[in-house]
Chain A
């Protein structure tokens, strides 16, 4: 009489197939989840930077301001703490930067399956590096003795990325380019 049910071999085959599927799915799931987290963090960062850039442009056509510098503000240790727009003023012979609007650069936390969490920081780089301003709504770069108007494609790239996730163009990042005064997310 033939017994009903699965044989051990069949059971192992099924378990093997399931194991293979799970071993493929879990890392993919983790990568997808991690990518989504990073994408959300970078989206939020880009949104914060856009807000500051927009406010700087708005203030630069406002009576009494006209000039807004945008800058990454660091603490005494050089750690970035704000992306800010504001004015620079002379006080007692020293230049001081006063923020009018700012976005606080957060410490970010990435959860994964294998590691409970990973701390990272958001880096914001101007390319080319330099000091940038809105003057009457126009985007300019400070040169050695004057300001250069940046129009059309001769503009500035602001690269936003997670510091510990790589800095190359393949690393996860958001890129903002300012063309004719308007900042736009291009990547």
Chain B
């Protein structure tokens, strides 16, 4: 009896030890999963914060001017750039929020990196869209825009099947490259319901095509013939005036060569932190999800910074279907332009 009791006791202790070891292993695996999920979330959050920070660092750039900015058309008429006016932001303010769930930011900055004038366009023969008549690009645009006295088109490199370059002058595909797709602004590209001109250039065939549509165009399109990306954001400060007269800032001078952006961060359905960027010079909006899933997020605008309070969620490995909450707070400095 004693031997049996001792054996059972030893066996029980062994089993207890055995089970405990596996419990520790299972808990370790679950904890590892939790740590990994938190690391993924933190990486994504830091990335989202970096994107916000990059936007915010421009906040205040020309903030006051943007509130007074008007568009000047070739005929001398002007129009308000309402998306940036004092009604929405307040003059001198770069940021705006109504309920803490949406935070808007406006800025303008000089952009030279991607803007290029097609200075040697006359070297290329051109073919109007659907018209076999061959002429120079300048002739095609003069024909297309007879009211445009300059008939000069400014655009940047847009991209193509084999060509994607940034930051240098040599944007243009060589003769060995595939078709490049180019963009040119229409006269009313700053107006809310603008028409726009999308152009195609085939360097191999020296073919220049022009098409127009009356739809508002953005940075991307669904229609097959318009399914290319627009990279042009603004006008280079030109030797030749662009097709619209320019932006009058502060009532004194015409101004070209600015990227003007209105960036909006918002909480969607209480579960996603999203961002959109409206670029009026291209009349286009891009939207992306910065982070999900979240439980809540609040923007609070202060004089010198914007504070984001956020509760994010990760799956709980120990309780399938449930989530673990973590809080995060970050300040984004606006250098007094809040």
Interface residues of A (CB under 8 A from B): 6, 10, 14, 17, 21, 25, 32, 36, 39-40, 43, 46-47, 50-51, 54-55, 57-58, 61-67, 69, 87-90, 93, 95, 133, 135-140, 142-149, 179-185
Contacts and interface: CB of A to CB of B under 8 A. Distances in A.
Interface in B166-204: 166-168, 170, 173-174, 176-179, 181
A145 B113 contact: no
28 contacts: A10-B7, A43-B36, A46-B36, A47-B40, A51-B43, A58-B50, A63-B259, A64-B114, A64-B166, A65-B167, A67-B164, A69-B164, A87-B166, A90-B163, A90-B174, A93-B176, A135-B229, A136-B277, A137-B51, A137-B275, A137-B288, A143-B161, A146-B161, A147-B159, A147-B228, A180-B288, A181-B288, A181-B289
A50 B43 contact: yes
Given A57-B51, A90-B165, 4 more contacts: A36-B29, A69-B164, A93-B176, A184-B44
B54 A182 contact: no
A66 B174 contact: no
A99 to B, nearest CB: 14
A184 B39 CA distance: 12
How many B residues are at the interface, by size bracket? 35 or more
Contacts of B229: 135, 140, 146-147
B11 to A, nearest CB: 8
A46 B161 contact: no
Contact of A63 (B37, B43, B113, B220): B113
Interface string B27-69: 0110010001101100110110011001100000000000000
Interface of B: 3, 7, 11, 14, 18, 25, 28-29, 32, 36-37, 39-40, 43-44, 46-47, 50-51, 54-55, 109, 111, 113-114, 159-168, 170, 173-174, 176-179, 181, 219-220, 227-229, 231, 259, 274-275, 277, 286-292
Nearest to A13: B7
Contacts of A50: 40, 43-44, 47
A49 to B, nearest CB: 10
A17 B7 CA distance: 12
A61 B47 CA distance: 12
Nearest to B288: A181
Contacts of A90: 163, 165, 170, 173-174, 177
Contacts of B109: 63
Contacts of B7: 10, 14
